[in-house]
Chains A and B, each alone.
Chain A
Amino acid sequence: MLTLRSNVGASLSSRGLIKFVIGVLVAGGLTHAVTAMSVTAAIEWRYADRIFDIRNWPGSPTDGFRLIGTYLRERLSKLDPPVTMFAGSSVTYGYPWSRSQIFSRRYSEARQTPVVNASVLALDVSGINDWIVCAAVRNKLRVATLIIEVPVINTVAQLAAHHRSSTPAPPMSDCVGIPDPGYAWLAWSRPLGLGWFVFLWDRDATEKPDAVMNLAAVPVGYFTGAADFDAVAPLFDTQIATLIANARTVADRVYLFPSPVFIGGLEQIGEDAASVRAQIARAMTACVQAGGVRCLDASFLGERQDHFTNFTHLNQAGHRALAEWLATQVH
């Protein structure tokens, strides 16, 4: 067996090893810098029309939550006023369509106005308040127009679940907090490596052909029945009022519309259409009572099966219709 020295085949002085270690550290630092700059550029380039899907964030949940503030700060700093901001759940996010096919983009084209869409999949009213509207408040941002989707089905289902389990719904945020960092600071302070690819991968980037929904049963409990709704209706009103109060502090004009639901098909799958109608009507009433905002009734979409891809999500025709209608409603 050879000695270790012969195995290695070369000797190395202390200075050589120190140089090697320094070289490794410098190369690592440079790689970090290049990664951070690339990430910043990639976000700017890929996510101008709507926010990334923050549910893919591989870092801590707190960071994910603050990313919305980062996104709003960065986008609004680059747009010329007057800017229209969209805040909502999956309908406004545009699931499952690409960013060129969603109503906020079509609205922007129709009105020739810059928009920023910070919607997050699967949010309820408290989520829209805590995650999106509070992000704008926290960062002292202001837009000319704020259009908010009220995800009625998600919100009522959440509240009903809390009610059934006798656990109080978490209180909504009062929007107090420090401003969020910009992209550059975020990318520099978060060495995520491949995690950036995972996070910035837009699975809805491809333009898909339009699709009309089939009437298929939804999971049990997806729509909340009348009895459960009655129990949570006052809290539902309160949440909408809180959302409106905070929204009014970040926009000159605020518009609310309940998420469209294909009510026309609910009875055919054995769901309580009257209860869903009542929930949407209650959202409208709560909006009107809160005051200071315009409450838009998008229920005309609810009878058009050809505008939905499933009971609670619009297809491309639906997105076009909603954009055209909003363009006529917003002043």
Chain B
Amino acid sequence: MLFNSYLFLFVFLPITFALFHGLRNRSWSAALAAVALLSLAFYASWDPWYLALLVPSLVVNYGLGELIARTRRRVWLVVGVAANLAVIGWFKYSLFLYVTATRSAEAPDFLRDIALPLGISFITFQKIAYLVDVWRGHQKAASFGRFAFFVLFFPQLIAGPIVLFRNFDRQVGRGARPNTAYRAAVYVGVMLFAIGLFKKVVLADSLGYFADELFSFAARPDFEISPGDAWLSALTYSLQLYLDFSAYSDMAIGLGWMFGFRLPTNFNSPYKATSIIDFWRRWHMTLSAFFREYVYIPLGGNRRGVGSQAVFVMVVFLLTGLWHGAGWTFIAWGTIHGVLVLFNHLWSKFVPIRWPRLLAWPATLIAVISLWVVFRAPTWPVALKILEAMAWHAPSTNNRAFAFDVLLYTPAWGLVAILGTAALLMPNSRQLARRLRRDQLFRRPDRKRTLGRPQLWVSAAVTGFLLYIAIASIGSTQTKFIYFNF
């Protein structure tokens, strides 16, 4: 059941929403339990067998959290982290490791048949963060129900944002709030959800059509790719990935608001970044924060000298690459990002010259876009073929990817131009949400903080437009979110 499906929009969401808000003032625990149980159904809608992994892992992690809090023995933390990594290792990396270790194209059937449970990378990291936080002395779950609600809360269950228990449970522990506050939260949530749904269904999926065609064309050994087609493939995918993943995050955050919970922001206009370090502060912010807090800093961060820092940075980005997928292109993507981040750190530390913004921004953007080619390409040779063409090292300048319908170049480049400009100039969802919350979306910030009539009507008009176009388009374009694959 995708967020962009009729089943979710017209059956699951209304039922869950009505149950939660109907129960919250009578029994807060019952409201949480209802959402948690329905979230289980939401997860099981892809494959009921996934519950056979999710539920035991939930119980075991809760138990381990209790053990760590009670005994303060490091061994339980090690067991917990190792167990979680073993689960993700088995489901996500066993086939890759086998093929790499044996250098064999043939793997046993039982390895080939392993299906990656949805959201396993996100769920595993949240649980690891919980165990580490409990070990560090943060509050453990007050009850199994509260822990289950944290893990299962459906908006963030499949593809994040990676929520920390300590931040989320603080909101849950406060109990039901006044109705006025919920009404405002629902209003903000619906708008954010509408923006996300529109970004996914209308924008990201449209770009996806072009990106898929272009990468398929590039993968054909009998065709050379022109610089124009190569750039178009890189640009369409870069925008598609950003819009697709940030759309999911917007929807998740919007849904969180609808239930009165604030989920962390995941994107902050990443293509406005003026350095690679800046990019990673803006892209998939909760993953970056996880690696910083639970890997980089515990390893030593920048406290043990430049040499160690270099190693830690590379470890973090190797893990970032691997987290995205078990494949050499992901590892290469992560490693190159690591090298660039390291270079960025060293430059900041040892070279007194600062790049002017006008140079730093395009250089960062080109590096990021080029690396998305490595990320998306099915194989390393295909990635190189596109990158070489992007560097104008191509045998032909004839654009042929859409030779079957040359008119398609118009909407493809048009979308890139419009959405690229929007990604660079328009406020992002985080800023929009902040303005919405402060009632500054359509008026100056110094006005009084009550939702006024003009704002309400304009918000409603925009939301109605976005929801109509998105919902009407679902039938023809319903696709999975890209990050579901990770």
Candidates B170, B179, B186, B438; contact of A9 at CB < 8 Å: B438
Q: CB distance A16 to B171 under 8 Å?
A: no
Query: Contact: A16 with B463, CB < 8 Å?
Result: no
Q: Which residues of A are found within 8 Å of B181, using beta-carbon distances?
A: 3-5, 8, 11
Within 8 A of B (CB), among A11-48: 11-14, 16-17, 19-32, 35
Please choose the segment from B235-243, B300-308, B326-334, B451-459 that sits at the chain A interface, where 4 or more of its residues have CB less than 8 A away. Answer: B451-459
Indicate whether A193 reaches chain B with its CB closer than 8 angstroms.
yes
* Contact stretch, chosen from B342-350, B391-399, B401-409: B401-409
Question: Among the listed A10, A23, A29, which residue makes an inter-chain contact with B184, where contact means beta carbons less than 8 Å apart?
Answer: A10
Report the nearest B residue to A32, measured CB to CB.
B468
Partner among A1, A25, A201 whose Cβ is within 8 Å of the Cβ of B464: A25
Q: Are B202 and A8 in contact (CB under 8 A)?
A: no
Residues of A195-245 contacting chain B, CB below 8 A? 195, 198, 201, 203, 205-206
Contact flag A1-B407 (CB < 8 Å), given A17-B187, A25-B464: no
Q: A7-B437, A17-B183, A194-B477 are in contact. Are A23 and B171 (CB under 8 A)?
A: no
Inter-chain contact B206/A203, CB cutoff 8 Å: no
B186 touches A17 (CB 8 A): yes
A198 to B439, CA, bound (A): 38
Q: CA separation between A198 and B262, bound complex, in Å? A: 37
- Report the nearest B residue to A202, measured CB to CB: B407
- State whether A16 and B471 are in contact (beta carbons under 8 Å apart), knowing that A7-B437, A206-B406 are contacts in the complex: no
CA distance A227 to B379 in the complex (A): 48
Q: Which A residues between 162 and 199 are near B, CB-CB below 8 angstroms? A: 191-195, 198
Question: Is A58 an interface position by the 8 A CB rule?
Answer: yes
Asked whether any CB of chain B lies closer than 8 Å to the CB of A59, the reply is yes
Please tell me if the beta carbons of A9 and B439 are within 8 angstroms of each other in the complex.
Answer: yes
Size of A's binding interface in residues, CB under 8 A:
41
Among B185, B201, B459, B468, which residue has its beta carbon within 8 angstroms of that of A191?
Answer: B468
Q: Is the CB of B464 within 8 A of A28?
A: yes
B244 to chain A, nearest CB (A): 15
Q: Which of A14, A58, A198, A206 contacts B407 (CB 8 A)?
A: A206
Assembled-state Cα–Cα distance A21/B459 (Å): 10
Look across to chain B and name the residue whose beta carbon is closest to the beta carbon of A203: B405
Interface size class of B (residues with CB under 8 A): 35 or more
Q: Known: A1-B171, A27-B463. Is A11-B184 also a contact (CB below 8 A)?
A: yes
Q: Is B339 positioned at the interface, with any CB of A under 8 Å from its CB? A: no
- Which residue of A20, A24, A26 is within 8 Å of B467 (Cβ)? A24
- Bound complex: CA A27 to CA B464 (Å): 5
Decide yes or no whether B155 CB sits under 8 A from chain A. no
Q: How far is A324 from B482 in the complex, measured between Cα atoms in Å?
A: 54
Q: In the complex, A4 Cα to B182 Cα: how many Å?
A: 8
Given A10-B184, A10-B439, A16-B451; A193-B460 close (CB under 8 Å): no
Interface residues of B (CB under 8 A from A): 167, 170-171, 174, 177-188, 190, 201-202, 206, 257, 260, 262, 404-408, 437-439, 449-451, 453, 456-457, 459-465, 467-477
Would you mind naming 28 contact pairs between A and B with Cβ atoms under 8 Å apart? A1-B171, A3-B174, A4-B174, A4-B260, A5-B177, A7-B437, A8-B184, A8-B257, A9-B438, A11-B180, A11-B451, A13-B180, A13-B183, A16-B456, A19-B460, A21-B460, A23-B457, A24-B190, A24-B460, A27-B460, A27-B463, A35-B472, A58-B475, A191-B471, A193-B468, A193-B469, A193-B470, A203-B407
Q: Would you list the 3 A-B pairs with minimal beta carbon distance, nearest first? A: A23-B460, A27-B464, A193-B473
